[in-house]
Amino acid sequence: MPPLLLLGALLALSGGVPLVFGGVPSVFGGVPLVFGGVPSVFGGVPVFGGVPKGGVACPGGCDCDRTNARCRGGAGGVPRGLPPGLATLSLLRWDIEELPQGSFRHLPALTLLLVASGRLGSVGDGAFEGLGALEYLFLEDSQLRSLPPAALRGLRGLLFLSLADNLLQSLPRGLFQELPNLGHLDLRGNPLRCDCALRWLLRWLRARPGPGPEGGARCHGPAALAGTALALLGPRQLQCQRHELRPFQALPFSSLGAEPFALGGHPGVALAQPAAGACALLEWDQLGGSFRAQRVINGSSPVACHPVPLGDTLLLVVAQLGGGSWVWRRSGGPGSAFVRHQALGAGRLRRPHAVAAARLAGHLYLGVADSSKGGTSTVFRWASGGFYPHQALRPWQRDTHLEFLELGGRPALVLCGAARRPLVYRWSGDAFAPHTDIPHVPDAYAAKHFRLRGSVFLCLTRFLGDAKVMRWEGSMFREVQQVPARGSLVFQPLLLAGHRYVLLGNDFAPSRVFRLGAGGRLEPAQDLPAPTPRAFVPVAVGHRHFLVASSFKGATQIYAHVTEDVGT
C-alpha cells in the first residue's frame, strides 16, 4: 500500500497526540506522525488533517478520493456509495447499532479501517468477512462491550488490532484463531476482568509471532489483581476454579434448628426436631461414607438443641415449647447416653425461640430469646455446675433471636424481635447495657454477624421484607446492601472450605448462595433448592466439606462443596 494513502487514513486519529501502536509512537522516515493541525511529513510532502476530495462520488458526511475516505458524525450502518477501491476508511463519531456479517464486503481493497470516538453497539460473527487485505483494524473508544468468537473471521492478513478505550471485560476464546499474522494488540483502557476466561489470552500473548507489547492493558478486577499489568501475569495466576454446592444426601425428617459442635476432634451437628419431639446428633459414618442422625433426647416440641462442649463433657441445652427447658449432659464418648442435668429458667422462659452461648471475661454465658408476650429474654451464667439467671433483658417484646459479637473491642449483644427494631447491647463489665437500636429494619427476625478486614458486618433477615447487610460504624450499624428476599428466616454468613459465603434461605423461592466480595458486598454465586430452610451449618470431614440445611417442612438436606478446575 502506498505510504501516502496509509497516512491519509491515519489522519483520522486526531487530538494532537503521536499515533501509538502497542504503546510505542510510530515513526515514518524518522518523523513522528502528529495530527490535529500539526503537519506530518513523509518524503518531504506535508499532509494535513483532512483527506482531499478527488472528484469521486461520496456519501453524505464523508470526504473521499479514489482510495481514501473519512466519515464523521453520522449514524446508521456502514456508509454506502463509497468508492469500491478504497484502501483506508475512517468512521469518526459514527453511531453504529450493529455490524452484521459481511458489513464491508463492498470494500474488498481496504487495508486500514478505523472506527473511533462513536458508539458501536455490537459486532456480529464474520462482520469483517471479505477484507482479506486488511492489515490495520482500529475499534477504539466506541463503547464496545463484547465480541463474539468469530467476529474477526476472514482477516488472515491482519497485522495490528486496537480495541483500546472500550468497555470490554473479557475476550472470547478463539477470537484470534484465524489471524496467523497478528502481532500487535492494543487493549489499554478496558475494564478487563482477569479471571479464568482470559487464561487463553495470556498464552496467546506469549506465543504470538510479533514482539510488540499488548498496549499497557491492566486488570480492573478481581480486587486481588486490580491495577496489575496484563503483561506481568502468568496463566496460572488467573483463578480457574469453580466452587459449587451439590446435593449429597437427604435425611428423611424435618428439622428446625441446627448447631455445629466439635468434641474430641469429631465434628457434629445438633438438630432440633419439633415435629418428632426430639433432639438428634448428626455425625459422619466412616464405614458408610455418609451422615447418620441418632435421636439422643426425647422432648416436647424442642425449638433449639444447643450444644456446649465443656472439656470432655457435652452439654445440650434443649429449649422447648412444652415441659420446660432443660440442660442435658453426656460425659462419655459418642455412644454414651445423655442424662438430664438441670432445669433451665425455673418458669422464667415461657416460649423460648433461640439460644446462643459465648465466653465473656473468662466466664461462660448463655442467652435465650423468649418470644411470648409475657416472657423475658434472659442471659444465664455458668457457675457451680449449672446455668443460673444473670441478667433479664427487655421484657414483653416477643424476641426471636440474639447474637453475641464484639464491637470496638468490647462484648456486645444484638437482640431481634417482632415488636421493635433490633437492639444493640454493650458489655459494661458485669452486664449488658442498651446502647442503640438499628434503624430502618423493623421486624427483623434474626441477626448473624461476620468480620472482614477489621470491620464487623451484620446480616439481618425479615420474613416480610428484604434482607439487609449492615456495617458497624463506631457507634451504630449502617446499611451497605439490600438483598431481595421472599419469606426468609435465615441469612447466614459462614466459612466453607476456606471460602466465605452468605446464604439466604427463602420459603417461596430457591435459596441463594452469595460469595463475600470486597468491602462486605455480596456477589450472587448459586441458587440452592433447599425447601423452607431454617439453618445452614458447615461441616468438615477430613478434606471434604459439607453444608447441612435444616428444613421446617421437608427433608433435611446435605450438600457437598465441590471444586472444579475449568481452566483451558
pLDDT, residue 440, reads 87
For residue 293, what are the CA distances in angstroms to 236, 273, 318, 329, 558?
Answer: 42, 11, 17, 18, 12
pLDDT, residue 143, reads 95
11-58 pLDDT per residue, tens: 333 333 333 333 333 333 333 333 333 333 333 323 333 444 446 789
pLDDT confidence band for 209 (50 / 70 / 90): low
Q: Looking at the domain covering 1-239, what would its CATH class be?
A: alpha beta
Cα–Cα distance, 316 to 181 (Å, whole number) = 72
- The answer, yes or no, to whether residue 348 has pLDDT greater than 50, is yes
- The answer, yes or no, to whether residue 8 has pLDDT greater than 70, is no
pLDDT, residue 42, reads 30
- The answer, yes or no, to whether residue 384 has pLDDT greater than 70, is yes
H or E element, residue 89: strand 88-92
Beta strands in 418-521 (DSSP E): 423-427, 432-437, 446-452, 455-462, 465-472, 477-483, 491-496, 499-504, 511-516
Burial code of 233-248, b = ≥16 C-beta within 10 A, e = fewer?
bebeebebeebebeeb
- Higher pLDDT: 22 or 147? It is 147
478-493 pLDDT per residue, tens: 999 999 998 999 999 9
Per-residue pLDDT, averaged over 244-265, amounts to: 94
For residue 389, what are the CA distances in angstroms to 140, 343, 380?
Answer: 71, 12, 4
- What's the predicted TM-score (pTM) here? 0.68
pLDDT, residue 195, reads 87
pLDDT, residue 35, reads 32
- The answer, yes or no, to whether residue 523 has pLDDT greater than 50, is yes
Q: Which of 345-359, 378-392, 480-494 has the weakest average pLDDT?
A: 345-359
Cα–Cα distance, 556 to 531 (Å, whole number) = 9
pLDDT, residue 334, reads 76
Cα–Cα distance, 228 to 220 (Å, whole number) = 8
Q: 318 forms bridges with which residues in the sheet?
A: 305, 326
